[in-house]
């Protein structure tokens, strides 16, 4: 029995020291891992922030280029029929949207939904204007009808999306 007590005198303190060393080492490694994760996040943030800001810039440019005024002026060619202009406008909108499709990775879901709504509303406006013009109308007639419909909208989806994105940029980057 005394031999067992003698052995316990040596083993018990070493077990306590080993247990404390284990707990200290565990906390140290946990702290080290958290520091590493924080450092990686900061590094990623330094890399991602300019990309995200560029994505917002591209979406603002997309919305500006696809405002009815800019789009019609940029797309309309001399001697174009209303139907040719309608087709060209819709193709231009879809091409630009497809070109900027990857930007949805870097902007909020709400902002992207508003951008999609603006695109769809503009296409709807163009189709509505085309249905209101006569069959043999010129592209100028279609353009005027598009402008008229656009002016009747108090808050166009394009403006709503643009305002939302501006607010989001201010919140995220300032």
Q: Is residue 132 domain-resident?
A: yes
Q: Is residue 24 domain-resident?
A: no
CA distance 165 to 77: 32
Q: Is residue 102 domain-resident?
A: yes
Q: Is residue 22 domain-resident?
A: no
Residue 150: per-residue pLDDT: 92
Helix 68-75, helix 139-152: angle, nearest 10: 170
Domain count of the chain? 1
Q: Is residue 117 domain-resident?
A: yes
Distances (CA, A) of 112 to 23, 37, 63, 104, 164: 48, 29, 11, 6, 10
Q: What is the pLDDT of residues 115-139, one digit of tens each?
A: 999 999 999 999 999 999 988 899 9
Q: Is residue 152 domain-resident?
A: yes
Q: What is the pLDDT of residues 39-81, one digit of tens each?
A: 888 887 888 889 999 999 999 999 999 999 999 999 999 889 9
């Amino acid at each position: 029995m005394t031999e067992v007590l003698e052995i316990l005198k040596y083993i018990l303190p070493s077990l306590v020291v080993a247990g404390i060393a284990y707990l200290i080492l565990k906390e140290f490694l946990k702290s080290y891992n958290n520091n590493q994760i924080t450092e990686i996040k900061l590094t990623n943030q330094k890399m991602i922030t300019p990309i995200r800001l560029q994505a917002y810039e591209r979406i603002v440019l997309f919305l500006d280029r696809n405002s009815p005024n800019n789009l019609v002026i940029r797309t309309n060619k001399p001697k174009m029929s209303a139907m040719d202009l309608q087709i060209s406008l819709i193709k231009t909108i879809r091409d630009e949207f497809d070109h900027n499709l990857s930007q949805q990775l870097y902007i909020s879901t709400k902002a992207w939904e508003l951008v999609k709504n603006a695109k769809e509303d503009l296409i709807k406006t163009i189709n509505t204007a085309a249905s209101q013009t006569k069959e043999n109308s010129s592209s100028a007639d279609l353009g005027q009808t598009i402008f008229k419909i656009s002016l009747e909208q108090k808050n166009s989806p394009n403006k709503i999306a643009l305002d939302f994105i501006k607010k989001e940029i201010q919140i995220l980057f300032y």
